[in-house]
Each structure stands twice: as C-alpha cells, then as structure tokens.
Amino acid sequence: MPRPRFPHPLALLVGCVLLAAVLTWVLPAGKFERREDPATGRSVVVAGTYSRVEPHPVGPFRAFVAIPKGIVDAASVIGLVFLIGGGFTVVERTGTFGRLVHGLARRLKGRGILVIPVASVAFSLGGIMMQMQEELIAFVPVLLLLVRQLGFTPLTAVAMSLGAAAVGAAFSPVNPFQVIIAQKVAELPPASGLGFRLVFLVPALALWIAGTMYYANRTRVPPQESETGPRMALDWRDGAVLLSILAAFAIYIYGAQRLGWEFDELAALFFVVGLLAGLLHGLGVGGTAEAFVDGFKSMAFAGLLIGFARAIYVVMNEGQIVDTVVNGLFTPIAGLPPTLSAVGMMIVQAAIHLPVPSTSSQAVLTLPLLVPLSDLIGLSRQVAVLAYHYGAGLCEILTPTNGALMAMLAAAGVRYEEWLGFVLPLYGLLMALATVALVVAVALRLQ
C-alpha cells in the first residue's frame, strides 16, 4: 500500500489560516472574563463567564495580513531557532561532533554492543539540549562505518542516533524547541517541572536503548573487515566547545530562574558558542560567518512554520473566536475526570503532529487553546504542556512527515516500512510511559 501523501506543511498552514478566517464568519464571537491569579501572577480564565460579543469576521486580505503579524508575534522564537541552528552548524562544521563519535567507537572497539548505549546517550544529549535531528544526517557515513565494523545493520545506526535524540527531546526538561517554547506560551517559568521530567526521561531512554540493543543482537552478522582510517582524537579545542554547549544551557537555566531571562538570552548564548567554536578551530571570521549563514538557511523553513502557525491564532484572536472554540472543547470534556482529559490531550497532540510536523509550530498553534481549557477543567498548565510535549515529541520517531527522519532513513538505506516494524512496539511502550507520567502529574497537581 503506498504511503499516504500529505500537503506541504507550509501549504497546509496557509490552508489553516484561511480556514480560521472562514470560521470567524461561521462561529459566534465570544470571550471569557479573565483575572490575575495572585499565587502565580498569571492571567487565568474565569469558569462560567463565557458570553457572546459583537462579531469580528476576518476577510481574505486580512487573513493574509495575519501571516506577517504571526511572524512578528513569534519573532523571539524564530530568532532563537535561527541562532541555535547557526551555532550548532558551526560546531558541526569544525568536526567536533564527528570526532566525538569516532572516539567513542575506538574506545569501545571489541566490546561491540556497548557502543549502542554509549552512542545513544551521547546523541540523546543533543536531543535533550536542542532537539538535534537534521544535524545528525552529516554523521551517517561515520555511523555506517561503525555499525559495519561491529556487524550491526544500518537501522541500528539510525536508532542509536536520530531515534535516541528524538526520544531525548520528547522527554527533555530543557529542550528549547519543545518544552521551553510551550512553557512560555503557557506563561510558565522556563525549565519549571525539571525534576519531574528527569524522573521519566531516564526510563524512556532505558526503554529505547534496550529495544535498540535487542534488535541489534537479533540482526547481527559477522563484522566486515574494514580499514580503521586515520585517528580522529578529540583535542582541547573540542573539549572547550563541548563544555561551552553544556555551560550555555546551565547559564540559561540559572538566568531563566533567577534573572528573568527569556529566548533572547538563550539565542545570544548559542551565538557566542558558535563564535567560540569557529574561532578556536581556525575557521576564521569569514568561515565562521559562512557556517552561520548555512545554519540560518537550514532553519529558515522551521522559522517560517512557526510564524505561519502563529498566524492561525492571530486570525482567530482578531475574530474573537478563540474563547468560543475553547468553550466548545470544554463542553464534551467537562464531565471527564482530569486524568482522562490529560490523556485525551496527549492523544490529540499526537494526531495533530502528523499534518503539522514542526513541534515548535504545534506549540504555538495548540497551547493557546489548551491552556485556557486546562484552567477551566482544573488541570494544571504544566500537565497541558506535558501532554503536548509527549504527544508531539514521540511522534518524531514515527511520522513520515518528519523530514529529518525520512532524510536520515534514505541516507542510511533503510526502508520506511522496515523502520516502522522496529519502532512501533517501542512507540507503544513509550506512550504507555508518558500516560503514567500524566497520571502521576495530575495526582501530584504538578505546577
């Protein structure tokens, strides 16, 4: 059976913008009253105060005007995407990541299977810290050489790199493209709930690594004889760059919690990381600038998706139907226990991620609707963010609309249906773990 074809994500979002404009003519305008919550300092809706207001339908031209407005509204998020992408492209250009992986292979040579947990943890850190996916495509030649020498299949290379990074991102407490963006939209402190997320990150990675090791052992063949190639040892400059990446996140977490830092500060930190990497490794001012430009180009599509997705909310807000939609969603959920509502949110987020493959776009598209809904049904905003994070994030290992996944599979010579056969059982186990996490979060009233 041929794989279903979906519209181009940008075309899909433009269609959603126009559909939102149509809805402003169809749905009645309405609003909830809002109040300041003295305990949190956040603006929350007041249950039972929804009322109709004068209609404000959005015409076709105003719908297109909402697109640049959406880009402006999401400017800080888009700037973060560009500068982190540029900084990591510089690091990748220096070869630091390639030497790190090669060094791991040399140290573990002869111990075969141990390469999988070590490499998986290393790549998962990229997912945890910045949702690394597209950057991993450059590692395919080294990874294929590694697995051939150890007797593993190319699928194992994809699983212990992009797969591990995606699982790390889906359960990460600090991933700026998912959890930090979602928390900002939900008006939560950046990196809040860090300890809770760490508790479930560990078993999630353990499940993925165990599944990858089981598959690798089951499909292992006699290793191929191959030249080891020149030694590629990490030097002090690589160590300095890797430490700077860790330091950037540590500084940001401190700044966000104590100094009120937001996306602009995080973007600036990774601009500095990129400069440091380029200059330490002799790229020079020109070479570092060119690497940044290449990184910006690679992130342009993601940035546009965020802005176009934000335009959907701009149209609905101008038409004053956001609260109408929230009120309509609340009606069927109102009778459900909060725990079932949380699980339902996660399932819906998973479904939405198929046509909207950008997790950042999905955050700015869905959280403005789900946060007021969670306020109404007595569910904490942190739980709503968790439902989004797990539902959308875990789909990154599965959905064919994830361009990084499809490109990685193609570069490694792995068929999509082969990947599905491997990943579906693990996806089911990870979704079960995410469900447990939501149930516990509701029980603890996680804030």
Q: pLDDT digit string (tens) for 74-128? A: 888 788 778 877 887 888 788 876 676 566 656 766 677 888 898 899 889 888 8
- Look at residue 410 in the predicted model and tell me its pLDDT: 74
- Look at residue 134 in the predicted model and tell me its pLDDT: 65
The Cα 235–Cα 330 span in angstroms is 57
The larger pLDDT score, comparing residue 291 to residue 135, is at 291
The Cα 92–Cα 98 span in angstroms is 8
Flag the least confident range among 40-49, 231-240, 417-426: 40-49
- Look at residue 423 in the predicted model and tell me its pLDDT: 94
Over range 271-281, report the average pLDDT: 90
DSSP class per residue in 388-408: HHHHHHHGGGT-TT-HHHHHH
Residue 144 CA neighbour count, 13 Å, CB half: 13
Token pair listed for 160: 């212990």
The count of other CB atoms within 10 Å of the CB of residue 222 is: 6
Phi, psi torsion values for 294, nearest 5 degrees = -60, -40
Q: What is residue 191's DSSP assignment?
A: T
- Look at residue 401 in the predicted model and tell me its pLDDT: 63
User: Helix or strand or coil: residue 205?
Assistant: helix
Band (230; pLDDT cuts 50, 70, 90): very low
Res 314 pLDDT > 60? yes
Contact 379, 442 (CB under 8 A): yes
Contact 286, 294 (CB under 8 A): no
Residue 184 CA: distances (Å) to CA of 7, 13, 17, 317, 382: 29, 22, 22, 18, 11
DSSP class per residue in 39-61: TT--EEEPTT--EE----PPPHH
Q: Which residues of 17-27 are buried (b: 16+ CB within 10 A; e: fewer)?
A: bbebbebbeeb
Residue 49 CA: distances (Å) to CA of 14, 56, 115, 250, 376: 32, 20, 58, 42, 10
Q: pLDDT digit string (tens) for 381-398? A: 899 899 998 998 998 898
Token pair listed for 158: 């994809």
The Cα 363–Cα 179 span in angstroms is 9
The count of other CB atoms within 10 Å of the CB of residue 232 is: 16
Band (228; pLDDT cuts 50, 70, 90): very low
Flag the least confident range among 58-67, 211-220, 268-277, 413-422: 413-422
Measured distance between the N- and C-terminal CA atoms of the chain, rounded to whole angstroms: 45
Phi, psi torsion values for 386, nearest 5 degrees = -60, -45
The Cα 233–Cα 105 span in angstroms is 11
pLDDT > 70 fraction of the chain, expressed in percent and rounded = 82
The Cα 74–Cα 361 span in angstroms is 10
The Cα 87–Cα 366 span in angstroms is 28
Band (39; pLDDT cuts 50, 70, 90): very low
Q: pLDDT digit string (tens) for 1-38? A: 455 555 666 777 788 889 889 989 998 988 877 666 55
The Cα 288–Cα 91 span in angstroms is 10
Res 319 pLDDT > 60? yes
Give strand pairing partners of 31: 51
- The single residue listed with the structure tokens 């776009």 is 361
- Look at residue 154 in the predicted model and tell me its pLDDT: 92
Residue 73 CA neighbour count, 13 Å, CB half: 23
Q: Which helix (H) or strand (E) holds 34?
A: strand 34-36
The Cα 372–Cα 384 span in angstroms is 10
Give strand pairing partners of 52: 30
Res 335 pLDDT > 70? no
Token pair listed for 89: 């492209």
What radius of gyration, in Å, describes the C-alpha atoms of the chain? 22
Kindly tell me the burial class for residue 218, based on how many C-beta atoms sit within 10 Å of its own C-beta (0-12, 13-18, 19 or more): exposed
For the ranges 37-41, 78-82, 171-175, 181-185, the one whose mean pLDDT is highest: 171-175
Q: pLDDT digit string (tens) for 286-312? A: 889 998 998 888 777 767 777 887 888
The larger pLDDT score, comparing residue 173 to residue 104, is at 173
Res 69 pLDDT > 80? yes
The one-letter amino acid code at 21 reads A
User: Helix or strand or coil: residue 386?
Assistant: helix
- Look at residue 428 in the predicted model and tell me its pLDDT: 94
- Look at residue 12 in the predicted model and tell me its pLDDT: 73
Res 226 pLDDT > 50? no
Band (366; pLDDT cuts 50, 70, 90): confident
pLDDT > 90 fraction of the chain, expressed in percent and rounded = 20
Band (418; pLDDT cuts 50, 70, 90): confident
